[in-house]
Amino acid sequence: MNLPLMFFHELKRSLPTHWFEDIGADVYQQYVKLRLKLLKAEVKRTSGSHPIEYMEVNSGKSQRLVFLPGFSDNKENFFDPAQFLVSDFDLLVPDLPGFGKSFKDPDAFYNMENYGRWICEFLLEVGWTDFHLVGNSLGGATAIEVALMMPKHVKTLTIIDPAGIVLPEVTNSLYHEFVDGRNIFSIHTHEQFKYFLQRVFYKPPVIPPFVWEHIYLEFSKNAQWNRKVLNDLLEHINDMSDPRMEEVALNRRLKQIKVPTLIVWGDEDSLFPPEMAQFVKEQIPNSKLYILQDRGHSPQVEAPLQFSQLLKKFIRDQERQQHLADMYAFAHD
């Protein structure tokens, strides 16, 4: 018998609905304020017709790191890995267009090309150049686009269970579900939200009941919007055998990536199965692949310390190799 959960449901029945919603939202906002204070981070917002809200830690570190969240995710879910990275890097974490507090424009077309363009414009507007770029899921696909669009600014690329990859032999991906009429982001009930968390995480995080309810309500409000963005990303293709899928997917463009690349994949990812990981490694020249055991679609959330250590080692190794290459070039100049 789960007594705390029973108490929670009894309390929910006894409180006016708006009180219950307000408590969850307030607790969550206090949590966000505390985490921002611990990181010494600021939340800012760009101007213009397509404003992007972002979290920034700018303390003058020599190394800078940009993280791009995934579909329906937000910058606040990077707090845990950020805590392990902030001693080594200045950090920039935006809400992707369409999610969090960044712009939601019903007339905009949220396909991969536009995601890449929007983030490149954002990075130039806030003045971030020469950075390490990291992205998860849709953020991973967007990071690939950015690395191809502005390679001189990207020192290393790290993609975590990236979206945008379509393989004929893998028939149980998120894309297949969506074109078959199943959309895990279309959340209207508590059971659907619980199922969503079980799909994203191998071991779903423990979330206090009031906060869980607040996050559920936010997802349910955005159910129709999430469908619109998914349709845009697939460019309204409703059949996985459609020859246009070859143009929509990033498969053929992976070979064009020139920056040092780390690929991280959870072995229990149920959205983009780990069979995809080896294909991505084979396509990206000189890339490194790590399959993390007992991790789902967002390893940086499930295992922030493990992920941060892996990322820091990869970046250190690349910096060392670049230093040796520079020394060799200087000696033979």
**pLDDT profile of the chain (333 residues), mean per 10:** 50 58 88 97 94 97 97 97 98 98 97 97 96 98 98 97 92 88 92 95 91 93 95 89 89 96 97 96 96 97 97 95 68 66
- Judged by DSSP in three states, 131 sits in strand
Burial of 199 (0-12, 13-18, 19+ CB in 10 A): middle
Question: What is the pLDDT, as a whole number, of residue 1?
Answer: 43
Question: Of 66, 57, 114, nearest to 90 (Cα)?
Answer: 57
Question: What is the pLDDT, as a whole number, of residue 7?
Answer: 47
Burial of 197 (0-12, 13-18, 19+ CB in 10 A): middle
Parse the chain into domains and list their residue ranges: 3-328
CATH number of 3-328: 3.40.50.1820
As a whole number of angstroms, the distance between CA 212 and CA 226 comes to 19
As a whole number of angstroms, the distance between CA 232 and CA 182 comes to 16
Which runs of consecutive H residues, i.e. helices, occur in 162-236?
174-179, 190-200, 209-221, 223-233
- Judged by DSSP in three states, 98 sits in coil
Question: What is the pLDDT, as a whole number, of residue 12?
Answer: 56
End-to-end CA separation in angstroms for the chain = 74
Q: Rounded to an integer, what is the distance from CA 326 to the centroid of its chain? A: 33
